[in-house]
Chains A and B, each alone.
Chain A
Amino acid sequence: MKIIRIILLIALLAAFIAFPFVFSDPATTTIAVFTLFFAAAASGWNIFSGYTGYIALGHAVYFGIGAYAMALLCQVWNIPAGYAPFFLLPLAGLIAAAFAVPFGWIALRTRRHTFVVITIATFFIMQLMAYNLRSITQGSAGLSLPIPFDWNADFFNLPFYFVALAILLLAFGTSWWVRNSKYGLGLLAIRDDEDRALGLGVNTRPFKLTAFVLSAFFVGMVGALHAYFNGSIFPPFAFDALFDVAIALMAFLGGLGTLFGPILGALILIPAQQYLTVIAGNTGYNLIVYGVIFLAIILLLPEGILPTLSKRWNKWKASRNRSEITPAVATTSDQDDSLVVESSGKGIEQ
């Protein structure tokens, strides 16, 4: 079983690597690049929100800080266009993470809805700052980044694609490590019952804060890469309210708190959204359709695709085993089964 998994993972990775060579049309690879950006950001977001159950709706803050850090670093150090700016990505991520420490510290003093609202508030604070701190951010005039002119149109997307893939792998690896470590177990315990986790000796405050900072680091790196890809940044796009919900929506669609869920969500939603923007334009239809998809996902698949599928799969396996035993046993095991399903709804999933 384990070997099959590893083979599947390698095949998946190979598919990701081969994709831009098979579909080399720049329009297609642009969508692929955006998909990887969001997959990486959603994976990073999931490390905090998915595992701890605290839904942060302000991660556009770290996306924006990463973007502005990238632009300012390039300006201050006169970084030429080309491959050099890619090496600044970890630094931009660290700057975003550094901002996440005080914000997270304040926000994590509260729980549940209040926490959500404070993350939204930090988002608006930072967006206003981007508009108003003109001496640093140039306000609504925006900042521009070095543009690699010597990369032709066919080649342009490739470096971004592979750097985004590297960030995604890093985020995924971290997510996997967290999921299988004692630290991650502590985070899941916080999600299930924070007070009990505290009572059992999980040091909840530092656990939550480190996860928050970690997720901000990945989102910040994606923000920086996105800024370099676009070549310029403006406050409403660097700090975009839609980004806040988009990554949450991807994680919810794929399966909140699962390893592959956010990536699957991004793989479905970003191409869909790009396609919608192309066919519907900016006449409001794109918002309507996006909102309707959003509603449909939450109402029809409240647990996300992967948990729903794995539940179906377990049920199907159970029913197959049951058909081999006597009917009397089958009915009792049926009751047991429903109990298990119910408790697993609250408990650890995946």
Chain B
Amino acid sequence: MANLIIGAVITGILTGGVYALMSSGLTLIFGVMEIINIAQGALVILGAYLSYWLQANYHVDLLVGLLITMPIMFTLGLLIEVAFIRPLKRNRTMLSILVTFAIAMIIEGVLTNRVGANYVELNAWYVNASFKIGNFYLPYIYVFGFVLSVVLLSCLYFLLYRTKFGYSLRASMQNRTAAELIGIDVERVSAITFGIGVALAAAGGVAFGATNLFNPNSHYDLISRLLVIIVLGGLGSLRGALVASVALLVIGDVTAVVWSPVWSSTVFFIILVAVLVIRPQGLFGQPEGRKQ
């Protein structure tokens, strides 16, 4: 039993890294633009299907394929922002939820139409192979997914804290109006942020698709988990998203082992509710001030 629990903790941490990747894009977009991208889950699935398609037709390795899919998804994100999010002027936050939901539906519809509703899984030599550490067999893909997340999140950290664009982005996060006043092109920053968030979704999609069966409908389950993660961590807080992803996945996996897999998602949501009763702004969120 103890062994099983330790194993669950390890896989929880490793898959938590992948969720951190997907949710960091979501929370970043929220931080800069104050919108919740409900389409993030659908975009993750779209990214997974792109990798699947590249692999099936051109035999591109999943991780190498990211070099192609991430720029494509980045461009797609830019386009979505410019075409659908930017025109929203009034009541942005609420309307953006509905707009991105519509985008999620369209993506789901297109995927259903093109590939059908069958479940698929990404394949590569490292998906089914595993290696032994101590008493555990650890699939390579978990480790690769985790390493991929660490690499990309490090890049994101570097981008945010060591580049001029990062300064503009963080300024826009702190105060949109003030950032505009000191000459930052907030609209441009928003579009690029959205692109980055979507590109991260594509990367998360590969790791997700290699460890889970998925079909075009899977995005509901995914987005609900991602939303729980970013709300639990505190909307707009990257640190919160990282901590919450790992914590939730570990707790979910441990529940699956000691109780039953069917309850692991429920525990996920119950923790959210419990935390929010005590801290409505989430673990690392700022309490919401009065907005005029």
Which A residues have a C-beta under 8 Å from some C-beta of B?
A: 53, 55, 57, 106, 109-114, 116-118, 120-122, 124-125, 128-129, 131-132, 195, 241, 245, 248-249, 252, 283-292, 294-295, 298-299, 302-303, 345
Contacting pair B276 A114 (CB below 8 A): yes
Complex CA gap A295/B83 in Å reads: 11
Complex CA gap A279/B109 in Å reads: 15
Q: Which chain B residues numbered 206 to 242 have a C-beta less than 8 Å away from chain A?
A: 216, 220, 224, 227-228, 230-231, 235
- Name, among B94, B95, B262, the residue most crowded by chain A CB atoms within 10 Å (CB to CB): B94
Question: What are 13 A-B contacts defined by CB distance under 8 Å?
Answer: A113-B30, A114-B276, A118-B231, A121-B231, A125-B270, A131-B262, A132-B262, A195-B290, A248-B98, A287-B105, A289-B109, A291-B103, A299-B84
Other than the known A128-B269, A249-B98, A287-B112, what 6 A-B pairs have Cβ atoms closer than 8 Å?
A53-B94, A113-B93, A124-B265, A283-B113, A286-B109, A291-B106
Contacting pair B220 A132 (CB below 8 A): no
B110 / chain A contacts, CB cutoff of 8 Å: 284, 288
B119 within 8 A of A: no
B99 within 8 A of A: yes
Known: A118-B231, A118-B273, A120-B227. A110 touches B280 (CB 8 A): yes
Identify B266's interface contact among A106, A132, A252, A290, CB under 8 A: A132
A345 / chain B contacts, CB cutoff of 8 Å: 90
| Minimum CB distance partner of B220 in chain A | A241
Complex CA gap A116/B106 in Å reads: 21
Known: A248-B98, A295-B103. A121 touches B272 (CB 8 A): yes
| Minimum CB distance partner of A139 in chain B | B262
Q: How far is the CB of A100 from chain B (nearest CB, A)?
A: 15
B118 within 8 A of A: no
Known: A109-B277, A121-B227. A116 touches B97 (CB 8 A): yes
Which B residues have a C-beta under 8 Å from some C-beta of A?
A: 30, 34, 36, 84, 87-91, 93-95, 97-99, 101-106, 108-114, 216, 220, 224, 227-228, 230-231, 235, 262-263, 265-266, 269-270, 272-273, 276-277, 280-282, 288, 290
Identify A114's interface contact among B99, B103, B235, CB under 8 A: B235
A110 / chain B contacts, CB cutoff of 8 Å: 276, 280-281
A53 / chain B contacts, CB cutoff of 8 Å: 94
Complex CA gap A8/B237 in Å reads: 53
Contacting pair A114 B282 (CB below 8 A): yes
B227 / chain A contacts, CB cutoff of 8 Å: 117, 120-121
Contacting pair B102 A117 (CB below 8 A): no
Complex CA gap A258/B135 in Å reads: 64
| Minimum CB distance partner of B89 in chain A | A302
| Minimum CB distance partner of B216 in chain A | A284
A283 / chain B contacts, CB cutoff of 8 Å: 112-113
| Minimum CB distance partner of B230 in chain A | A117
Complex CA gap A121/B271 in Å reads: 11
A106 / chain B contacts, CB cutoff of 8 Å: 273, 276-277
Complex CA gap A39/B137 in Å reads: 55
Complex CA gap A121/B277 in Å reads: 14
Identify A288's interface contact among B93, B106, B290, CB under 8 A: B106
Contacting pair B288 A111 (CB below 8 A): yes
Complex CA gap A111/B114 in Å reads: 39
Identify A291's interface contact among B105, B265, B280, B281, CB under 8 A: B105
- Name, among B109, B110, B235, the residue most crowded by chain A CB atoms within 10 Å (CB to CB): B109
A289 / chain B contacts, CB cutoff of 8 Å: 109
Contacting pair B109 A302 (CB below 8 A): no
Known: A106-B273, A125-B269, A284-B109. A252 touches B36 (CB 8 A): no
A124 / chain B contacts, CB cutoff of 8 Å: 224, 265, 269
- Name, among A113, A116, A252, the residue most crowded by chain B CB atoms within 10 Å (CB to CB): A113
A120 / chain B contacts, CB cutoff of 8 Å: 224, 227
Contacting pair A284 B269 (CB below 8 A): no
A122 / chain B contacts, CB cutoff of 8 Å: 269, 273
